[in-house]
Amino acid sequence: MAGHGRTSWDAWLVGGAAGVAGLSALHSAVPNGVGRLGSLLETFLPWLGLAVPLLACLAALKRSVPGLLACPAPALVWLWMFGGMWFSAPPGSYDLTVVQHNVADDNADPAGTARALLAARAGLIAVEELTPAARPAYQGVLGASHPHRAVHGTVGLWSAYPLSDVRPVDIRPEGFPESWRRGLRATVSAPGGRVAVYVVHLPSVRLGPTGLTSAARDESAALLGTRIAADPAGRLLVVGDLNGTVQDRGLGPLTSRLHAPPRRFAFSWPAGLPVARIDQVLARGAQVTEVTALEATRSDHLPVLGRVRLR
């Protein structure tokens, strides 16, 4: 009986290691039709790596040699997918810094949040969930050093460099009211050259008993992706709260047209215990060399700082 029990543990541990490796490497094969399970997996994909030490500890506890021998497989898959976040070459020179932050519409200290963003010394400061009541506080703190401003609805951009061709970007899913305004585009005359900058906030995603409810976000991402594809700008940035990670296939119509930074996880949400980066700095025709999460403000998101090479 003892031998039979050990054999069962061997099978479970080897199967668990194979399952973790398979889910990591073949996450795109997980169907998204029911409950957006594929998107849910891809949102937290890096955290599958935690299963490896748990399996190894359990194998050691049960003295399962096959279980221990199986653990390197998911570990190697994880390193293949995410090791570059730590082991890639250090970022080189950059021409532009961007701070991106969902400042939260219930933020009790907008002026303090604005000062925290200003302390990052970025040339561009993009914000979402900007309320009319809080707007004067941000302008009061940022206006002197970032005199060029564009605001549309609840998204805003403060710039140390001149802005031109400022326009709203309609990314409303079907059925959303005209008052839902969460996108703008501006051309920035940055030191490294002119660059089109989109500031956006995609619809929220909810997790419930039936999985993710992300249909509206996915529709909005597709609308933005179409807009990006038609934009003639040679250099282009998309910054904002996308309510999804770059691995999430629901954002594919947008993220497939852009390049994400190769280094660091820079988890930005939730601020108290960040588990995913849903606040993004993405580029086309330029290179985002690094994204870093900054210290918490009075928001439920962390700010992120992106460094961009334009030349």
Tens of pLDDT along the chain (311 residues) come to 455 556 788 999 999 999 999 999 988 888 887 778 888 888 888 889 999 999 999 999 989 999 999 999 999 998 888 877 666 556 678 999 999 999 999 999 999 999 999 999 999 999 999 999 999 999 999 999 999 999 999 999 999 999 999 999 999 999 999 999 999 999 999 999 999 999 999 999 987 776 778 999 999 999 999 999 999 999 999 999 999 999 999 999 999 999 988 767 899 999 999 999 999 999 999 999 999 999 999 999 999 999 999 97
- What is the distance of C-alpha 19 from the center of its chain? 26
- HEC string of the chain equals CHHHHHHHHHHHHHHHHHHHHHHHHCHHHCCCCCCCHHHHHHHCHHHHHHHHHHHHHHHHHCCCHHHHHHCHHHHHHHHHHHCHHHHCCCCCCCCEEEEEEECCCCCCCHHHHHHHHHCCCCCEEEEECCCCCCHHHHHHHHCCCCCEEEEECCEEEEECCCEEEEEECCCCCCCCCCCCCCEEEEEEEECCEEEEEEEEECCCCEEECCEEECHHHHHHHHHHHHHHHHCCCCCEEEEEECCCCCCCHHHHHHHCCCECCCCCCCCCECCCCCCECCEEEEEECCEEEEEEECCCCCCCCCCEEEEEECC
* Residue 114 contacts residue 146 (beta carbons within 8 Å): no
Q: Where are the domains of the chain?
A: 2-82, 96-309
CA torsion, ordered 161, 265, 130, 203, to nearest 10 deg: 120
pLDDT value of position 1: 46
What superfamily in CATH does domain 96-309 come from? Endonuclease/exonuclease/phosphatase (3.60.10.10)
**Which residues, including other chains, have CB under 8 Å from residue 94's CB and lie 6 or more apart?**
289, 290, 307, 308, 309
Distances in Å between the alpha carbon of 66 and those of 15, 59, 71, 121? Answer: 10, 8, 9, 53
